[in-house]
Chain A
């Protein structure tokens, strides 16, 4: 298994590197790999340097952050709920983040500052988690949390629809909202990178050492506790980290679905459920998947955005999973 793990890590790292290179090279103006590398090193012609440093590198780095964050968040949720179908959208955290961002956009916040929409999204996600925490305070099990998530999703979804309907007359605002709800990483700036990448990498790093206790938790909470895991603390760590990661990813990439569901599940099928392996592999795989799904959006008609691509891949995948393993 060790050899396989090393092979998988190397393979996924190579895939991610290739995706990064493609993400930097392809677009309206295609660059050769050599030109990309020269531009990265600060050499070559000015235009290539501008394209790589000012346009594509922020987009690529935001894509890595969004993919790694959502996939890690999915792994944590699945261990927490002991259910391979759990995903970051479940608790209403994504919906809360979406509502925050949509509220900011509807109020014209996009013009105020680049920080407004991501900030509102993070705030919305945290308020959603706060609501889940308050509602679930009296020793609620995963099922209770899940049902509260369903209810919160409905409430936040209603709020988002209301704001969208209110803005229907203002074409620019409703366009921004729709674009944001469909998720995408184009036109990202270095500010977006600073908002998303360092805290997401930190969150991922904090999650890595939890792999072993997550293994125990995923086979039952009481038995994990009797084997020496502080289950209460671990549950809060998982829910907290996964909220932060989802919130940050949504803040800089909009609503991008299915990454947290598809990536861990596929890797689990290939390399087993051990979270010590699954966590780093999912982070690599999630980043690669988002970058690869972002590539066709540069050439296809305007509506084919990142969120649409991941949903188009993820929806059939979910149906396939349900067919294999009806629950």
Chain B
């Protein structure tokens, strides 16, 4: 259970409060510069902001680093790698906080469809493949709070859908996920949508209640219209 109260950071985040039950899949949307990445970093304890963050009633900043590494994980947008670590080693880093026990590493490689890359150096992979490697590392942590910053940004259609399916599976198992996104249509399949605009939370709730044409027009300055469109799904 995640509670945030009055999160404020310069002009980047203004008085954001939220309360999430376990097992919820939350889409964080908003225009560029709205504060999506900042919110995820603050929740991950990577940026210090005013306000309080409680995880199951405990103040997050008081949880020691290793324990925090078992509690939450953050997946950033950057997927640059300078050193040529093999993919399997990068994914195994997800077990650092567990004493490097390597549990679930092979499973994470398989789920993200990168088992065939396991021995390749990460520096030789494409942007999308690296993204999947870092997602696998986040998955391998087994952390009950997953904060993913635009995880599908550089992925092809199928792998993008796979990631959403994975998020749903994790949520069904009790993991809480906050996922920043740009595609509002994707946000519709989340349990909750959190809309940020210029650092303030301007909407939070079930997607159909929050993502109204009026709000979309105000925040994103685009016209929303319901229409029959091409739908893309994973084969069952």
Contact = CB atoms under 8 A, between A and B. Distances in A.
Interface of A: 82-84, 212-213, 215-216, 218-220, 222-223, 225-230, 268, 272-274
B74 A219 contact: no
B180 interface: no
B220 interface: no
Nearest to A234: B65
B65 A229 contact: yes
Contacts of A216: 93, 96
B76 interface: yes
Contacts of B90: 219
Given A228-B65, A228-B68, A228-B69, A223 B134 contact: yes
Given A272-B85, A272-B86, A222 B93 contact: no
Interface in B121-150: 134, 137, 141, 147
Nearest to B74: A226
Contacts of A274: 85, 89
Contacts of A229: 65, 69, 96
B85 A215 contact: yes
Contacts of B141: 227
Contact of A227 (B81, B83, B97): B97
Contacts of B84: 268, 272-273
Nearest to A275: B83
A268 B69 contact: no
B65 A215 contact: no
Given A226-B44, A227-B94, A229-B65, A219 B83 contact: yes
Contact of B93 (A83, A215, A268, A273): A215
Contacts of A227: 69, 73, 93-94, 96-97, 137, 141
Q: Ordered nearest first, which 4 A-B pairs have the shortest CB separation?
A: A228-B69, A228-B97, A273-B83, A226-B74
Given A225-B46, A228-B65, A220 B97 contact: no
B102 interface: no
B153 to A, nearest CB: 16
Contacts of A212: 96, 100
Nearest to A226: B74
Interface in B148-182: none
**A interface, by DSSP: helix, strand, loop or mixed?**
loop
For A82, A219, A227, A268, the residue with the greatest tally of chain B CB atoms inside 10 Å of its CB is: A227
B200 interface: no
B72 interface: yes
A210 to B, nearest CB: 13
A227 B100 CA distance: 11
B8 interface: no
Contacts of A220: 76, 78, 80
Given A227-B96, A229-B65, A222 B41 contact: yes
Contact of B69 (A84, A219, A226): A226
Nearest to B119: A1
Contact of A228 (B80, B81, B82, B96): B96
Contacts of A273: 83-85
Nearest to A221: B46
Contacts of A215: 85, 89, 93
B198 interface: no
Contacts of A230: 65
B66 interface: yes
A226 B97 CA distance: 10
Contacts of B65: 225, 228-230
Contacts of A226: 44-46, 68-69, 72-74, 147
B12 interface: no
Nearest to B122: A219
A218 B82 contact: yes
B70 interface: yes
Nearest to A225: B46
Contacts of B134: 223
A222 B41 CA distance: 9
Given A215-B85, A227-B137, 4 more contacts: A219-B83, A219-B93, A225-B65, A227-B96
Nearest to B95: A227
28 contacts: A82-B82, A83-B82, A213-B96, A215-B85, A219-B85, A219-B90, A219-B93, A220-B78, A220-B80, A222-B41, A222-B44, A223-B74, A226-B68, A226-B72, A227-B69, A227-B73, A227-B96, A227-B97, A227-B137, A228-B66, A228-B96, A229-B65, A229-B96, A272-B84, A272-B86, A273-B83, A273-B84, A274-B89
